[in-house]
Amino acid sequence: MNAIIAIGVIAVVLAATLGLGIFGVRRIKMDAEQYIVGGRSFGALFLWLLLAGEIYTSFTFLGAAGWAYGRGAPAFYILCYGTLAYILSYFMLPPIWRLSQRHNFLTGPDFFVHQYDSPRLGALVALVGFIFLIPYATLQLTGVQVLLTIAGYGAINSLAAVAIAFTLIAVFVFGTGLRGAAWASTVKDAMVLIGVVFAGIVLPVRFFGSPAGAIDHVLAAKPHWMTLTGDASANGVVWFVSTVALTALGFYMWPQSLAAVYSAKNEDTLRRNAIALPVYQLMLLLVYFAGFTALLVLPGLKGPAADQSFMLVVKQYYSPWILGFIAAAGCLAGLVPASVQILAAASIVSKNVLSDTFGIAKTSAERTRATRILVLVVAVLAFAFWALARTTLVGLLLIAYNGITQLFPGVALSFAPRRPSAAGVAAGILCGIAALAAFAMTGTSVVGGVNVGVVALAFNAAVAIVTGYAIPALKPRVPTADSSTR
């Protein structure tokens, strides 16, 4: 009976949100541009919703609480990196947006194609985006699976839950484009806010009188939980600062984030968003309180199980109606971003690799079909990754960020007075990713306390600069006298 109520609540909420997503796009004729960049007419509020919709995901809802539960202070990095990314975005996004309008960029990699005059570099960037969106999609899939398993009160095992999650993601991707996702985001954000207030305020008040009371109890039991270790170990203070820097640089490298930037109405919209978005980060504070409360009420969850932390508390102490509502909010936090991410992964490969580089799927209809097939490919790969790599949600996000941040040197160097060659930038990206692969195979996560992603990024930038300026572009290039007008 409990399972029927909780799952029933989830089903009603998801159906209603999907309906709203479809209704939001119905009256607009959908061509590729509408589908991917929403017709380039998003004002400040709508864009804010879309950007927030992609940022506040299963990771925020479950992953941040899971790390607060499992590791303590290292989880605070999540508060810092978003804030730094918005500061960077204030300066970086307006010039990217101006280029996108002048040259009709459709996908994230189109930026590289134009800046380096190289469709092949665009194809490489698209493949990097595709590969590292898979762990990100896996994160969302895992989040939905965890919630369905809990809401099933034992009636749904994890494999059945992941199969349902997989189906739901496919329904969301095919049901809504970018504009639909922005509408669905409004429902999602309202519900997640209610869920987070419940988990971050109502739970600690019930058990410890106040959120500060929960912190008192954690400090009494674990005096070092709220500070970082000062040494060079994994998750120490050096790791913290390097991870904040790495993930802040990678934040807007995601193809779906760049596509969202292109969809802005004007550059002032982007600046005002950058000013307002840091405030949204504060919701994470409540998520930490939820994780700390769960640590005291239900101790002993190990590894990826920590991601279930506060949901298990809700399940044990509250009615299935409340569990169903919060799980529904969490499912939306997974499904809406997953649909945007999977759509982005599929569309960059169909446009920048198949169409622009190999000349397959040239017409709009063919490209739409290729995108649909690729959506299923991404979803299957995300499913495979779920089956193979059982790690925490934060662990999945860090894998994704280590990879995507390797695109940052190419973006930054493209604004230099003299640009390096496309071959140099490509060599940098490949070396950075090879370094990441070597670290992954040896199980290294920090070098002298520094996140290996930063080491790979430094290697990448060094290779890009040395080979990029030493090896000239293969085609003769127009000198960049016109760089300010391009």
Partner 1 sequence: MREFDPVKRRTRLSVALALVPVLALTLGIPLANRVEPRIAGLPFLLAYIVCWIILTPAFLLAVYRNDNRA
Please give the residue ranges that form the binding site for partner 1 (CB under 8 A): 73, 76, 79-80, 83-84, 86-87, 90-91, 210-213, 215-216, 219, 223, 226-228, 230, 237, 240-241, 244-245, 271-272, 274-276, 278-279, 281-282, 285, 288
Residues facing 451 on adjacent strands: 446
- The CB-of-461 to partner 1 minimum distance in angstroms stands at 18
Question: Residue 146 and residue 144: Cα distance in Å, rounded?
Answer: 5
85: its two tokens: 């990314």
CB of 271 to partner 1, least distance (A): 6
154 vs 223, beta carbon nearer partner 1: 223
Distance CA 342, CA 375 (A): 6
Q: How far is the CB of 274 from partner 1 (least distance, A)?
A: 6
Say how many CA atoms lie within 13 Å of 138 toward its Cβ. Answer: 27
Nearest to 60 by CA among 290, 256, 355: 290
In whole angstroms, give the CA distance from residue 200 to residue 206: 11
In this complex, which beta carbon is closest to partner 1, that of residue 190 or of residue 279? 279
- For residue 70, give the nearest of 389, 386, 309 by alpha carbon: 309
Written as one string, the DSSP assignment of 278-345 is: HHHTTHHHHHHHHHHHHHHHS----GGGGGGHHHHHHHHHS-HHHHHHHHHHHHHHHHHHHHHHHHHH
- Please identify, using beta-carbon distances, which residue of 147 and 270 lies nearer to partner 1: 270
Nearer to partner 1, 99 or 215 (CB): 215
Least gap, CB of 180 to partner 1 (angstroms): 30
Residue among 78 and 396 whose Cβ is closer to partner 1:
78
Q: How far is the CB of 248 from partner 1 (least distance, A)?
A: 9
Residue placing its CB nearer to partner 1 in the complex, 71 or 271: 271
8, two tokens? 């029933």
The least distance separating partner 1 from the CB of residue 70, rounded to whole angstroms, comes to: 17
Residue closer to partner 1, measured from CB, 221 or 275: 275
Smallest separation (angstroms) from partner 1 to the CB of 3: 37
- Give the C-alpha distances (Å, rounded to integers) separating 81 from 100, 212, 249, 399, 440: 26, 24, 9, 15, 23
Spatial separation of the C-alpha atoms in residues 349 and 109, rounded to whole Å: 10
